[in-house]
């Protein structure tokens, strides 16, 4: 069944636009251990959180884990993050009928670099990143930033994410929700589920 009366399609970044959903556990921590010798995963997570809230810069993040900046950052972003193979083609088709936006938890500088590297900004009318605003999903304040930036009501939006907690907040606000399933997870809160981004084309 198709969604109706939708004006905006909102994409998460990690796990939707990019393949890996848990980039900190599965990409960042192994990279830092291998390249910089820091094997304390909890310490890396504790530094990533304030970086993803904009409380410390990306330069300070890498300095605190004793990695070389900007070389380590550039290598990490260039070699570890993989764009979903269907994303660009799907987004280009959807953009002909809908406004597209991104709502993501990420370090501001990393998100900006990746969007430039993959030429993604041309696809989005609004990009709301936790590191620019000091809130992380599922904090509803970040969703309100997005809605205000587009001057739309929640019911006009479809939000695509791979994390149940993020979809739950979106649903509570009145947004339509699509779960990007990965690794056979079965989240409890969503209207629709897709196994490929190309499946969005049958819903919209």
**How confident is the prediction along the chain (204 residues), in pLDDT tens digits per residue?**
678 889 999 999 999 999 999 999 999 999 999 999 989 999 999 999 999 999 999 999 999 999 999 999 999 999 999 999 999 999 999 999 999 999 999 999 999 999 999 999 999 999 999 999 999 999 999 999 999 999 999 999 999 999 989 999 999 999 999 999 876 555 555 788 899 999 999 999
Torsion 17-20-25-26 (CA) sign: negative
Separation between Cα atoms, residue 74 and residue 78, nearest integer Å? 6
Residues pairing with 178 in the sheet: 160, 192
Q: Could you give the CA distance from residue 28 to residue 44 in angstroms, rounded to a whole number?
A: 8
CA distance 76 to 159: 28
**Apex 161 CA angle, 167 and 33, nearest 5:** 115
What's residue 1's pLDDT?
66
CA distance 93 to 100: 11
> Which residues 6+ apart lie within 8 Å of 152 measured at CB?
7, 8, 99
8 Å CB contact between 10 and 160: yes
Q: Quote helix, strand, coil % in the chain, to nearest 5.
A: 50, 15, 35
Structure tokens at 62: 């890498």
Cα–Cα distance for residue pair 142/52, rounded to 1 Å:
13
């Amino acid at each position: 069944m198709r969604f109706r009366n939708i004006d905006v399609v909102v994409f998460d970044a990690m796990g939707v636009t990019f393949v890996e959903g848990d980039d900190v556990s599965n990409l960042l921590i192994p990279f830092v251990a291998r390249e910089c010798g820091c094997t304390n995963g909890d310490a890396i997570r504790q530094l990533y959180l304030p970086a993803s809230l904009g409380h410390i810069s990306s330069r300070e993040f890498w300095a605190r884990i004793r990695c070389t900046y900007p070389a380590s950052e550039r290598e990490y972003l260039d070699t570890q993050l993989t764009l979903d193979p269907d994303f660009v083609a799907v987004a280009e088709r959807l953009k002909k009928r809908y406004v597209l936006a991104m709502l993501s938890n990420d370090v501001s500088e990393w998100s900006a670099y990746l969007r430039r590297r993959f030429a993604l900004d041309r696809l989005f009318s609004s990009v709301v990143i936790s590191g620019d605003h000091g809130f992380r999903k599922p904090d509803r304040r970040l969703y309100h930033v997005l809605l205000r930036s587009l001057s739309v009501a929640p019911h006009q939006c479809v939000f695509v994410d791979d994390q149940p907690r993020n979809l739950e907040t979106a649903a509570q606000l009145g947004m339509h929700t699509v779960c990007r399933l990965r690794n056979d997870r079965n989240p409890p809160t969503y209207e629709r589920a897709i196994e490929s981004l190309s499946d969005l084309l049958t819903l919209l």
